[in-house]
Structure 1
Amino acid sequence: MAMHFDITDFRLFINIAETSSLTRGAERSFLSVPATSNRIKNLEDNLGMRLLERSPQGVTLTNAGKTYLQHARIVLAQLEMLTGELQQYAIGLKGQFRLQANTTAITEYLPPVVGDYLKTHPDVHIDMRERLSDDIIRSVRDGSADLGIVSGSVVTDGLQSVPLVSSRLMVIAPIGHPLLEKSEVFFKEALQYEFVSLLEGSAIHVFLSRAAAALHKPFTIRVQVASSDAIFRMVEAGAGIAVVPQAVYNRLKGQQNIGSCGLLDPWAVRTFQLCAQDFEGLSAFARDFANSLIAYYRNPLPPALPA
């Protein structure tokens, strides 16, 4: 039996899978719910198999649906790559690539490279999302991200990866705080105090919450803020202590009433890696960005002195 595939079906199915809902998938695809239901029914009839299981709670993918989703993402990614390759021949055609990175990479390591890249690629849009490293790896593997920047001991098997830079997590506290009597502490020692943290859902907040859970200790947050600058202001004001990357500390340590000590936990020293399914298989503009990022951190500024 011949199987016929349709780009609109691919996009619609991805939207349904990502929202676990026919209704929200229809909204994302700018289709009515009846039209969406009809397209999915015709798709399943054409393939001769069920792709979705429907329930009052939403929809879930069958095994066939999971396979269809994986290849739909790959096909659409290939089409985006084709668009990128043809960009140099078309006037006004815009390109796009999808980049996922954790909090530190987005705030500290990407800005100088992104700024220079966009000056030389004004018609390229970077779809940049903040994610945890494990989630980034899954996105790159399944094709929903072209490039990912991950850190720590996350397993990158099956992907190509290039190390960029290493960073250490540090504890910051007001001058005179008991933790600052040592130059280095374990995270479990810091957990006896209240913290200033980024908002729930930020990659570093989730990371530290998981680290505390692994130690079977509460991660007590007194104040949540939206930026690293706000963290430093709150710590300086005595609202709590915080854990920040050394790159953030080096940029913001001008505050006179804040001190720091290093974290001794093995996970506190993190190497950032750039990952892709295949660097040579990227679109031209995504490959240019990857090359720019790698070149920038192969010739970095002199390293900061250790804490």
Structure 2
Amino acid sequence: MHFNIPDLNLFIHVAEASSLTGGARRANLSTAAASMRIKSLEGQLETRLFYRDSQGVELTPAGHDLLVHARAIMRQVDYIKDEFSQYAEGQSGHLRIFANTTAVSDFMPDVLARFLVDRPGVTIDLQERMTHEIVRGVLDGSSDLGVIAGPVKDAKKLQVIPFSVDRLVLVTPHDHELAREAQVSFRQSLGYPHIGLRETSTLFQFLKSQAQEAGVDLQMRIQVYGFESACRMVSRGVGISILPRSIAHRYADFMNIHTVDLADDWAERERSLIVRELDALPKCGKALVEQFQNLTEH
């Protein structure tokens, strides 16, 4: 049995007006069209819903029963419309975001906090992933948005939205011999023990690949689980590290660390959002993209 929502709505109008003509008028239908649809509804239910006479119409017992159910159904339809109108307005919704290590640890907490505090009905699933996993996740639909740094593979299949610049720098103790240099190459730094992030971080994997391209081993003295831990290790003289400049400057105010620019072209990497189709995002997703675009460059 198939119920048509407009037919149920028409049935309610006719019942409340006690008139086929009056109900048709409320439903913006002709009387003939309304009569045909009511008869079709009675045919589906295999029962009479109205007694008809020259004065109008009156509900049958079956009609009374249907009116109770029809009103409940229409209330539920109204609830659904109301709930999804909030999604359409960007006040409700759920977004899954895959992002690299720097994004998750550095700027995204602040960005998402500002975004979520004004949208109590929005929830976000933020996951740290490797760059290739971020791209694949957006392509296959398992992620709504991706946040990466550097060139984007499969860019022709995605919309790439740059929003800021991420510059990697060498971080040393103040008394380290490389701290006297105005600029050093990554290859120069590889002659010293490094402090790196964990194996699964996007930054570690990126630096590992750059060392392999240079044909030099990346000497890891220790691998830690966060940028602050890396800076603390550097400040104690354990080794040197390659970190985002914005993060190093944050800890330089109260730790014994110094930053040196890297001469390598890849040290400056463009940060981008990637999406399959911006227009297909829910309104809350589009609002988040706009907030990213308003970020100031680090």
Query: If the length of structure 1 is used for normalisation, what is the TM-score?
Result: 0.65
Judge conservation of contact 2:134–2:146 (CA < 8 Å) in 1: yes
Cα distance, 1:94 vs. partner?
6.5
Q: Percent of counterpart pairs with the same letter?
A: 32
1:73-84 alignment, distance < 5 Å: none
Residues 1-307 of structure 1: matches in 2 within 5 Å?
Answer: 86=84, 88=86, 95-155=93-153, 156-294=155-293, 296-297=294-295, 300=296
Tell me, in whole angstroms, the C-alpha distance in 1 between the residues paired with 2:253 and 2:103.
21
- Displacement of 1:250: 2.0
3-state secondary structure, aligned to 2:123? strand
TM-score (norm 2): 0.67
Q: 1:126 to 1:179 in 2, by over 3 A?
A: same
- SS in structure 2 opposite 1:193? coil
Aligned length: 216
Seen in structure 2, the aligned counterparts of structure 1 residues 89 and 199 have a Cα distance that, compared at 3 Å, is: closer
CA–CA distance in structure 2, aligned partners of residues 110 and 256 of structure 1 = 23
User: 1:170 touches 1:262 (CA, 8 Å); kept in 2?
Assistant: yes
Q: CA deviation at 1:132?
A: 2.6
| C-alpha distance in 2 between matches for 1:256 and 1:196 | 16
Q: Deviations over 1:116-139 (max 9, x none)?
A: 111122232211111232331222
CA distance in 2, matches of 1:138, 1:184: 36
Provide, for residues 52-76 of structure 1, a one-character-per-residue CA deviation record: whole Å limited to 9, x for no partner. xxxxxxxxxxxxxxxxxxxxxxxxx
- Distance of aligned partners of 1:175 and 1:288 in 2 relative to their CA distance in 1, 3 Å threshold: same
1:232 and 1:138 map into 2 onto residues whose CA distance is 32
- In 1, Cα distance between the equivalents of 2:217 and 2:254? 28
8 Å CA contact 2:130–2:200 kept in 1: the answer is no
Moved over 6 A (4+): none
Q: Distance in 2 between matches of 1:141 and 1:209?
A: 26
1:87 positional shift: 6.1
Letter in 2 for 1:141: L
What amino acid maps onto 2:114 in structure 1? D
> Following the alignment from structure 2 to structure 1, what is the Cα–Cα distance between the partners of residues 253 and 185?
25
Contact 1:100/1:130 (8 A) holds in 2:
yes
Deviation at 1:251, TM superposition (A): 1.4
CA-CA distance at 1:159 after TM superposition: 1.2
Letter of the structure 2 residue corresponding to residue 133 of structure 1: T
Measure, in 2, the Cα distance between the counterparts of 1:126 and 1:213.
36
5+ residue gaps, structure 1, are 1-81
Consecutive unaligned residues of structure 2, counting only runs of 5 or more, are 1-79
Residue aligning to 1:56 = none
